Structure 1
Amino acid sequence: MNTLRTIKSLVYAGTLDLGGMPVRQAFPSAKIGQVDPFLLLHHADLKVPSHIPVKQAGVGPHPHRGFSPVTIVYKGGVQHRDSRGNVNVVYEGGTQWMNAGMGIIHSERPPQDIFDKGGRQEIVQLWVNTPAAHKMDQPSYFPLNAEDTPTIISEDGLVKVLVHAGEHAGKRSPVPTLSPVNVISLFIQKGGRYQLEVPVEHSAFFYVLKGKLNYKGDGEIEAHYAAILNNDGSGFELEALEDAVVLLGSGTPLNEAVTSHGPFVMNNQTEIMEAFRDYKLGKMGVLIED
């Protein structure tokens, strides 16, 4: 490993109300906008309500265009349905990767067996921007189950790494991305250490879901903080001061104009208006849940 990256900004993921659900938002915030090509990071750890049918819990049908809403499951499971006819459940350790393209409607609900899985959902949703050349591609959906996710175990057994997208340590995820990105989860037991290489051209951040870390060169970082890294090195080193769970994102910046409104992310305001028009005209399809 060569020079270690330094931390540009440390951001606390405050809680906001998202349709009645408490969700932590690491970015964008008043302190940091996008981490190009990553637009948004939400972290939710929720008890599934038992007073309503499971099929009414979670997030109901809503549209997207122009980016990839990605859901990584840390506890429980998520049932995905969309207007292209895809229906699938991904459980703990898995990933739902959807390229919204020209427009799609989807829902994300707890699976019917969620109470057999502990009755909790812990997820991170990451919005990954799509290059302008592909924003109007046909939508696509790719589920990656835990058993198919490339996994690395450290020699001392204290660190487990899941490669949700991209490549790490010679392991490549089968998820099809539209630009070079790496999305990786690390589960580090207390006392464990891990060094990561990050492509020098990538923007990079990591978010601590759980525990406390020592970031070599910059000190301690607690749970629910996101560290945005400078592009001044080829990697970094983490040591777990407590059992920790960490999400790393790195990617080649698109360096394109971003205009967003609600569920649509395009390159200018005209394209946003067209997205709302097309949604109202039914061009993104229809999703009727049974």
Structure 2
Amino acid sequence: MNKNRTIKSIIYADKIDMGGFPVRQAFPSSKAEQIDPFLLLHHANVKVPTHIPVSKAGVGPHPHRGFSPVTFIFKGGVHHRDSRGNDNVIYEGGTQWMNAGMGIIHSERPPHNIHEIGGVQEIIQLWVNTPAKHKMDQPVYIPASKEEIPFIETADGLARVNIVSGELDGVKGIIPTLSPVNTFTADIKKGGKFQFRIPASQHAFIYVLSGTVNVGDTEEIDANYVAIFNEDGEGFAIEAKADTCLFIGTGEPLNEPIASHGPFVMNNQTQIMEAFKDYQMGKMGVLIEDAPNP
């Protein structure tokens, strides 16, 4: 029988201000640095303002290099545009995955009909580090709607796990990744249970967006907490104590040096300086937001 993992730490995701946006930062923090290969997790649940045009809400054009900023959408939608000509809206249950590679500029706005579908955006943005050998690859943008993402549902109908990337119980996710990375979202109704089986070599964590779960027999994890696992088993068992929405991330550690500054994540400071220079010289392209929302 495979041994279940124990929990290394349970950490509350404090609210921080990100350029006027209130977000919860599960990591990094003073209690938990990066969970290699995962660099950062932000959870936002915001009401889109009505006093400004939707086209000016959200996050305007900004660059990235050297990692994958990934947005998982739980409520509302996200309108992505970038300097490679991609222009797409993904709604609740979908994912926007972007391998920034050598450099790309993108924006993330609410869709034009956000107020017609509730006016709320709830998202997780996860930064996934890119292996050194792929940091200067050409950028790739991969949208995935809720309908395109495969899932597993328990026989009693109480638990549904969506496999965005990687593999779970033989079901493969839709997103190809540059290193072994599993990303799952799950909705588990009160009393529902699910056994996650993952490679013993991978780092793993869960983040609870809403509700409460028990991990194993004893550890209780409430909403807005991240639980980071030890590498001492090949899975973990979840039981929902209330209707729960959670995010699960596991990945093979890269074990590579990290140098980061703002929107760039590389392996040394020289590469960071080169990233800023290339951005200033226009080598990451240009994004002009003058087209109407689709």
State the TM-score, normalizing by the size of structure 2: 0.98
Matches within 5 A, 1:151-230: 151-230=151-230
Cross-structure match for 1:87 = 87
How many residues are aligned here? 290
Instruction: Name the counterpart of 2:56.
Output: 56
* Alignment partner, residue 265 of structure 1: 265
Q: Which runs of 4+ in 1 moved over 4 A?
A: none
Deviation of 1:282 after TM superposition, in Å, equals 0.4
Residues 12-39 of structure 1, C-alpha deviations (whole Å, 9 max, x = no match): 1000001111000000000110000000
Structure 2 spans left out of the alignment, 5+ residues: none
Q: Are 1:239 and 2:239 counterparts? A: yes
Letter in 2 for 1:234: E
Query: In the alignment, which residue of structure 1 is the partner of 2:124?
Result: 124
Q: Partner amino acid for 1:129?
A: N
| Contact 2:42-2:126 at 8 Å conserved across structures | yes
Helix, strand or coil at the partner of 2:101 = coil
Give the alignment of 1:1-150 within 5 angstroms.
2-150=2-150
**CA shift for structure 1 position 106:** 0.2
**Structure 1 portions without partners, runs of 5+:** none
In structure 1, distance between residues paired with 2:56 and 2:160:
34
What is the alpha-carbon distance in structure 1 between the residues aligned to residue 251 and residue 168 of structure 2?
A: 13
For residues 219 and 166 of structure 1, the distance between their equivalents in structure 2, rounded to whole angstroms, comes to: 26
The CA deviation at 1:218 is 3.9
SS in 1 for 2:115: helix
Deviation at 1:252, TM superposition (A): 0.4
Residue type at the aligned position of 2:6: T
Percent of aligned pairs sharing the same letter = 64
The letter for the 2-side match of 1:225 is: Y
Contact 1:6 1:218 in 2 (8 A): no
**How big is each residue's C-alpha offset from its partner over 1:18-61, in whole Å with a ceiling of 9 and x where there is no partner?**
11110000000001100000000000001010110000000000
- TM score, norm. by length of structure 1: 0.99
What's the secondary structure of 1:179's corresponding residue? Answer: coil
Contact in 2 for aligned 1:23/1:44 (Cα 8 Å) = yes
Native 8 Å contact 2:163 2:174 kept in 1: no
| Structure 1 residues 116-172: Cα deviation after superposition (integer angstroms, max 9, x where no partner) | 211100000000000000000000000001000001111000001111111112111
Residues of 2 paired with 1:222 and 1:72: CA distance? 20
Kindly provide the CA deviation profile for residues 145-204 of structure 1, in whole angstroms up to 9, marking residues without a partner as x.
100000111100000111111111211112121000000011000111111101111110
State how far apart, in whole Å, the 1-side matches of 2:176 and 2:154 are.
Answer: 26
